Chains A and B, each alone.
Chain A
Amino acid sequence: MQHYLISLLIFTPLVAACICLFLPKKFEKAFRAVALIVNVQQILWLLPMLVGFRASGMFQFVERSNWITLNLGSWGVLKAEYLVGVDGMSLPLVALSVFVLLIATISSWSIQKNVKGYFVLLLILNAAVIGSFVALDFLLFYLFFEFMLLPMFFLIAIWGGPRREYASIKFLLYTLLGSILILVVMIGLYTSVSDPVASQGGLLVHSFNLLHMMEPMNFISNTILDPNNPWQIGWFNARYWAFLLLFIGFAIKLPMVPLHTWLPDAHVEAPTPVSVILAAILLKIGGYGLLRIAYPIFPEAAMHFGMFVGIMGVLSIIYGALNAMASKDLKRLIAYSSVSHMGFVLLGAASVTEEGIAGAVYQMVSHGIISAMLFLIAGVLYDRTHDRIIDHYSGLSSKMQNFTALVLVGFFASMGLPGFSGFIAEVMVFLGSFRSNATNGVLHESLAVIATSGLILSAAYYLWTLQRMFFGPFHLKANIESDAIVDLTSREYVMLVPLAIAALCFGIFPQPMLDMIDPFAKYLTALVIDHGKAITLNP
């Protein structure tokens, strides 16, 4: 059992989706039950992994078997493996996904339209999400990565709001563009990298293994991405281009300003549970991809473009926050705050310091928890009144005391108030980006200084929203019935309270998770800096 935990995590939802397909449409309760059972079961499988995980930079619970082996004659062998494993970055993210997916399933109880289709898609999405966090083979990763796209597209397109068509197509085209850029790099890497073990017999075995790609020795000489002799294309050499393509591909997903415009639209139109998954999990895959693929495989390019990545991160922080402040729709505000917070991930990654990278990973997990909570909060309100315009409400605290309390927790956590998980993450990112100039000279200190203004802006827009919506005299816009405003139901407590507790826990006791992340951050920093220097110094 211990050896197949990851496969169980991935394939249980898929099997459940197949079972659901064959159940008759009218058993609406059955679909909910199946989805819930799958989620609970996933948590049960996750626990031994969390317990059994040893803090080190190595991959654990690795499973490996042959998947595709193609002998392509004179141009070698194509080898793709089913290779999955977790390390200090992926395990927290997998845990986050399982946790958030459980909450999303509970939140999906209110879905009425075509329940069967909805839960089938949700289960497929579940498998794809976990798969992309654990895949260590580029082709496998890409497969899961793309496979996330379609369930998401349909979830927005069928169960979304009034402008769902526009939003889903925009989402699809943006992410598809991103994945095609990644595909180009994947093909390039595939032609350039050989499997050192399997190629010993004189046969050239092209490998998709990400670990092989991280090792400059494995590049075949005179291929397009060979570090010793990369092809020059235009201004940069091919490796720099490849890094940029990967960066843009993942940055669309992250999302980074100016490639973020799909996100607010998708969020506004998506139903609450889908928004939760989108914000809490899918955005993380952008950051995860950067740290898992772009940085270790193209370390010298990562160092070279570090300043650029950092500037884009700061730009996202500031621009996202300003947009959030100007938003009239509560969900749009939260969506822009996501853009702003994911900017910290970019900044942390760009610093290539231990603190920065650990902070980036911590921020991904923390933002996952907090944004899930925030979108659920928006959902609670929307369920009652079908209106999310901030100006239409005032003084809600008088009618919904408990709700307001949880909103306060959520908003303060997102602001980065000490005691909440966001604070730890953001402080670490600031430390990393500040120290970067002294240790490796990638980022300038001023970036960290400018980024702190993001904190002030986020405090501003959250407090302003609180003041407008929840405090002051109770008042609603004319067409909203005040009878609809009632406090939380028990199902909503079940969803919101665990998230609030998690945000507090990770803010007060960060050590367990930092112990998990730290070896990874150390390993990645050392790898990027060492390999980066080695490759740059080579003639």
Chain B
Amino acid sequence: MNALFVICGLGIISLIAEIANFRKWLISIIVLGLLGAAALVVADWNTAVAYYHDMLVFDNFSLAFTGLIIGSSLLWFWTASDFFEALFHKTDKSALILFAIAGGVLMTSFNNMAMLFLGIEILSISLYVLAGSRKEDLGSNEAAFKYFLMGSFATGFLLFGITLVYGATGTFQINTIANYVLTHAGELPSFFYAGALLMLIGLAFKISAVPFHFWAPDVYEGSPTAVTGFMSTVVKIAAIASFFKIFATCFSTIAPVWYTILLVIMVLTLVIANITAVYQNSVKRMLAYSSVGHVGYILLAFLADHKESDGTIFFYLAAYAVSSLAAFGALILVGGKEENTLVERFNGLFKRNPIVAVGLTIALLSLAGIPPLPGFFGKYLVFAMAINNGMIPYVIVAIVTSLIGVYYYFRVIIAMYFKDAVAEPLKVSTSKEVLIVVLILITLALGIFPDFLIQLL
């Protein structure tokens, strides 16, 4: 809870920075503040306290995901430091990012549908603006507008769903709803189920599962690369945490209602996202589709055992977040000012800058699920869970799609190592080189000793 206050406070401090003129120190203050927030999360570990009439509950699940969000944000601030070097709106951007993080924390810790809604809205509104922060760029404008329209639409579904669920149960508290559903099984009005399904659709938009993913590629491609990196890590973590929380608590007892629908969504997500990714020429867009595809694997774990899959999902997300941050970090460096991320741009990167190339390679290999990188363990745990629950045909689908994944990730790797360089050596600041090494080390550590993280939940 205190971490949330710290993050909100940091957002307001960065607004004040514009007036009080300490812009130079802002990023350092934010990083220190986030470190403090992370420390507060650690201090709260194993306490499970409910705050303000059970509006928020910080149990280990929420704390773990909050920690993950804060950790990824810290690394993100490092990768995206150039994003704040711009001439204008430095403080506005950091304030919006911090508010978005606060929204993400709310989405992991809510215990009341009102808080869920607020969290989603804070997160989304900040991002609508950030997506459009390259004002002179048409793609960025398109991204912002598309994201805004689709996002509002999704929120509409979610809100309608919440209303119907409230109408049936008379409460917004998710544990009370869960109890109500348990004790009133068989006598629930049918619009309760309609409400649950509408919420499913609304949240499927937010986690960008097929067929509710149409906004994702355009938005990911159009937004500034730094913001895309934020969307595909912090935002995704928060969205999946809220999805898990709602469906594993509130609607766990009515699993038969949504199970088949989610199964179809999962298979579609795996197949369509991974196949479409093959045809992309822009690495950014390819990563957008791949991030949609990863949701499919998470859904597979969720469907295998929706109550016990939290540890697996958490690890998968952590592995995915570290790898995507490294990938987007490299993308920012390679894309340069004009943010050109076509595959050709990566030609001969190994010769232009070996460190960036190796970092990106390891990130992509981890996303592809090659051992001993953490992506492999994430997929391994998901597959093991699914086989254990007799979902063999779906595991086969998932394995085939991850092979397709290897193909499109390797296209970039091939370009980096085999093609002749198109430009002179890529100069990268020392801080970025250190960052890449740190990310590689985190990735390797997660891959070789995965039990440390999974054991948390």
Do any CB atoms of chain A lie under 8 A from CB atoms of chain B in the complex? yes
- Which A residues are within 8 Å of any B CB, using their own CB? 67-75, 78, 117, 142-143, 146-147, 149-150, 154, 157-158, 164-165, 169, 172-173, 176-177, 180, 183-184, 187-188, 190-191, 224, 233
CA distance A145 to B417 in the complex (A): 23
CA distance A341 to B399 in the complex (A): 33
Is B403 interfacial (CB-CB < 8 Å)? yes
Residue on B nearest A142 in the bound complex, by CB: B371
B457 to chain A, nearest CB (A): 9
Check B383–A75 contact: CB distance below 8 A.
no
Check B403–A154 contact: CB distance below 8 A.
no
Residue on B nearest A160 in the bound complex, by CB: B418
Check B354–A117 contact: CB distance below 8 A.
yes
0/1 string, B374-397, CB within 8 A of A gives 1? 001000110111011000100100
CA distance A233 to B396 in the complex (A): 14
Check B451–A70 contact: CB distance below 8 A.
yes
B153 to chain A, nearest CB (A): 37
Instruction: Pick from A70, A154, A191: contact of B387, CB below 8 A.
Output: A191
Residue on B nearest A164 in the bound complex, by CB: B418
A169 CB contacts on chain B under 8 angstroms: 410, 414
B371 CB contacts on chain A under 8 angstroms: 142-143, 146-147
Instruction: Pick from B350, B372, B380, B451: contact of A187, CB below 8 A.
Output: B380
Q: A164-B418, A187-B380 are in contact. Are A146 and B372 (CB under 8 A)?
A: yes
CA distance A106 to B271 in the complex (A): 48
Is B198 interfacial (CB-CB < 8 Å)? no
CA distance A67 to B376 in the complex (A): 16
B194 to chain A, nearest CB (A): 31
A117 CB contacts on chain B under 8 angstroms: 354
Check A68–B372 contact: CB distance below 8 A.
no
B218 to chain A, nearest CB (A): 31
Residues of B within 8 A of A (CB-CB), count: 33
CA distance A191 to B387 in the complex (A): 8
Is B365 interfacial (CB-CB < 8 Å)? yes
- Which B residues are within 8 Å of any A CB, using their own CB? 305, 308, 311-312, 350, 354, 365, 370-372, 376, 380-381, 383-385, 387-388, 392, 395, 399, 403, 406-407, 410, 414, 417-418, 449-451, 454-455
CA distance A117 to B351 in the complex (A): 12
Check A150–B365 contact: CB distance below 8 A.
yes
CA distance A71 to B455 in the complex (A): 7
A78 CB contacts on chain B under 8 angstroms: 381, 384
27 examples of A-B residue contacts, CB within 8 angstroms: A68-B451, A70-B311, A70-B455, A72-B311, A74-B305, A75-B305, A75-B388, A142-B371, A143-B371, A143-B372, A146-B371, A146-B376, A150-B365, A154-B417, A157-B418, A158-B350, A158-B417, A165-B414, A172-B410, A173-B406, A177-B403, A180-B403, A183-B383, A188-B387, A190-B384, A191-B384, A224-B387
Instruction: Pick from A147, A164, A191: contact of B388, CB below 8 A.
Output: A191
B366 to chain A, nearest CB (A): 12
The 8 closest A-B pairs by CB, nearest first: A146-B371, A68-B451, A73-B308, A165-B418, A191-B388, A143-B372, A143-B371, A70-B451
Check A147–B372 contact: CB distance below 8 A.
yes
CA distance A147 to B385 in the complex (A): 24
B399 CB contacts on chain A under 8 angstroms: 180, 183-184
B14 to chain A, nearest CB (A): 38
Residue on A nearest B385 in the bound complex, by CB: A75
CA distance A211 to B417 in the complex (A): 41
Residue on B nearest A233 in the bound complex, by CB: B392
Q: A146-B371, A176-B403 are in contact. Are A187 and B354 (CB under 8 A)?
A: no
Q: A172-B410, A177-B403 are in contact. Are A187 and B418 (CB under 8 A)?
A: no
A117 to chain B, nearest CB (A): 7
CA distance A402 to B454 in the complex (A): 61
Q: A69-B451, A150-B365, A169-B414 are in contact. Are A74 and B384 (CB under 8 A)?
A: no
CA distance A70 to B381 in the complex (A): 11
A213 to chain B, nearest CB (A): 15
CA distance A191 to B58 in the complex (A): 33
Can you add 10 more A-B contacts, CB < 8 Å, to A73-B308, A146-B376? A68-B449, A70-B454, A70-B455, A74-B308, A117-B354, A149-B370, A157-B414, A157-B417, A157-B418, A187-B384
A275 to chain B, nearest CB (A): 19
Residue on B nearest A79 in the bound complex, by CB: B451
A70 CB contacts on chain B under 8 angstroms: 311, 450-451, 454-455
Check A72–B308 contact: CB distance below 8 A.
yes
B94 to chain A, nearest CB (A): 35
B384 CB contacts on chain A under 8 angstroms: 78, 187, 190-191
CA distance A190 to B354 in the complex (A): 38
A187 CB contacts on chain B under 8 angstroms: 380, 383-384, 387, 395
A177 CB contacts on chain B under 8 angstroms: 403
CA distance A184 to B403 in the complex (A): 13
CA distance A97 to B188 in the complex (A): 68
CA distance A69 to B385 in the complex (A): 16
B418 CB contacts on chain A under 8 angstroms: 157, 164-165
Interface centre among B414, B449, B450, B451 (most CB of A within 10 A): B451
A184 CB contacts on chain B under 8 angstroms: 395, 399
CA distance A75 to B376 in the complex (A): 20
A149 CB contacts on chain B under 8 angstroms: 370
B449 to chain A, nearest CB (A): 7
CA distance A450 to B431 in the complex (A): 66
CA distance A169 to B308 in the complex (A): 39
B268 to chain A, nearest CB (A): 22
Residue on B nearest A186 in the bound complex, by CB: B380
B376 to chain A, nearest CB (A): 8
Residue on A nearest B376 in the bound complex, by CB: A146
B450 CB contacts on chain A under 8 angstroms: 68, 70
A224 CB contacts on chain B under 8 angstroms: 387
Residue on B nearest A71 in the bound complex, by CB: B455
B51 to chain A, nearest CB (A): 27
Q: A157-B417, A188-B387, A190-B384 are in contact. Are A150 and B370 (CB under 8 A)?
A: yes
CA distance A158 to B357 in the complex (A): 13
CA distance A69 to B451 in the complex (A): 6
Residue on A nearest B315 in the bound complex, by CB: A70
B365 CB contacts on chain A under 8 angstroms: 150
Residue on A nearest B403 in the bound complex, by CB: A180
CA distance A164 to B418 in the complex (A): 9
A176 CB contacts on chain B under 8 angstroms: 403, 406
A157 CB contacts on chain B under 8 angstroms: 414, 417-418
CA distance A414 to B417 in the complex (A): 36
CA distance A187 to B385 in the complex (A): 9
Residue on A nearest B311 in the bound complex, by CB: A72
B417 CB contacts on chain A under 8 angstroms: 154, 157-158
CA distance A67 to B385 in the complex (A): 20
B456 to chain A, nearest CB (A): 11
A190 CB contacts on chain B under 8 angstroms: 384
A146 CB contacts on chain B under 8 angstroms: 370-372, 376
B403 CB contacts on chain A under 8 angstroms: 176-177, 180
CA distance A183 to B370 in the complex (A): 11
B312 CB contacts on chain A under 8 angstroms: 72
A494 to chain B, nearest CB (A): 32
CA distance A68 to B418 in the complex (A): 37
B207 to chain A, nearest CB (A): 23
A73 CB contacts on chain B under 8 angstroms: 308, 311
CA distance A256 to B90 in the complex (A): 61
Residue on B nearest A68 in the bound complex, by CB: B451
CA distance A321 to B403 in the complex (A): 33
B454 CB contacts on chain A under 8 angstroms: 70, 72
CA distance A137 to B370 in the complex (A): 18
B385 CB contacts on chain A under 8 angstroms: 75
CA distance A73 to B381 in the complex (A): 13
A180 CB contacts on chain B under 8 angstroms: 399, 403
B148 to chain A, nearest CB (A): 40
B455 to chain A, nearest CB (A): 6
B380 CB contacts on chain A under 8 angstroms: 183, 187
Residue on A nearest B454 in the bound complex, by CB: A70
CA distance A183 to B312 in the complex (A): 18
